[in-house]
Amino acid sequence: MNAIISASELASDLAGQRPPVLLDVRWQLSVAKAAGEPAFDGRAAYAAGHIPGAVYVDLDDELASEPGENGRHPLPDLEVFGAAMRRAGVTAARPVVVYDGGQGWAAARAWWLLRWTGHPDVRVLDGGLPTWEGPSQTSVPTPAEGDFEPVPGAGGLLDADGAAALARAGVLFDARAGERYRGEVEPIDRIGGHIPGAVSAPTNENVGGDGRFLPAEELAGRFKALGAADGSPVGVYCGSGVSGAHEVLALAVAGIDAALYVGSWSEWSSDPSRPVAVGPDPQ
């Protein structure tokens, strides 16, 4: 099953006999908030217009728990996450499509969580809301309560020790911008740099100028050139487990399974005992 869906395919599915549950997860990383400027308001954007039938899901409150020693976007409480999914009408028997404002990071976070907790059929709208040419609505739907019960999977999730081990035994991709990986700038976390052994693979290089993913064969070639070859285990981290989910999604499009270190650099860098590498060299 493809992990992404085009806007035209979504329109067709919504008009079919088994329309998907739609989740709107508009969100932006707010560096502006740290500077005292108003944060992006995804709920207000949703209220101003959304794909008909879509239910808004709050990334900070429902797809993550409170920031702390486990990072800026730790795993959500599964009871909170499950309740949010059921409120949105999510069931195991219906497909789910997730979209955001176009960047793809927030939608990928919801996609990853649903997959990790056992949903069998979830996809991301490739390119997000800007690709949608159909109608929009401002009214808030009230879908029938879903029955989805999240059950964490046995794999697909890394902690700090697991990420460190994978950087030695397989390939660990750092999905942040190259300058953050190299430690040249660090606008958010305590210190710049990367996990020793991690390979720089900025997630924005997985998409074209229109925000859509590159073709699967191009993505596969990119990741193989960076070391994801010969069946070696693959993992991804980023700043706080959001853009990293987008890279896990890109790997899935390329046909490569990957695990996500959810705590990511925000967790790793908060512990002074953990080693930090700087510069372009993984080590």
Q: Is 272 among the catalytic positions?
A: no
Is the Cβ–Cβ distance between 21 and 89 less than 8 Å?
Answer: yes
- 117 in the Ramachandran plot: left (φ > 0), alpha (ψ -120 to 50) or beta? alpha
Burial group, residue 115, by CB count within 10 angstroms (0-12, 13-18, 19+): buried
Give the span between the Cα atoms of 96 and 49, in whole angstroms.
20
Output the CA torsion sign for 265, 183, 169, 214. positive
At 173, which helix (H) or strand (E)?
strand 171-174
| Secondary structure of residue 281 in the 3-state scheme | coil
Alpha-carbon Rg for the chain, nearest whole angstrom, is 18
Q: Which of 108, 238, 254, 260 is catalytic?
A: 238
Is the Cβ–Cβ distance between 199 and 182 less than 8 Å?
Answer: no
Q: Which strands, in side-by-side order, build the sheet including 171-174?
A: 157-158, 259-261, 234-237, 171-174, 199-200
Query: Which residues are annotated as catalytic?
Result: 238
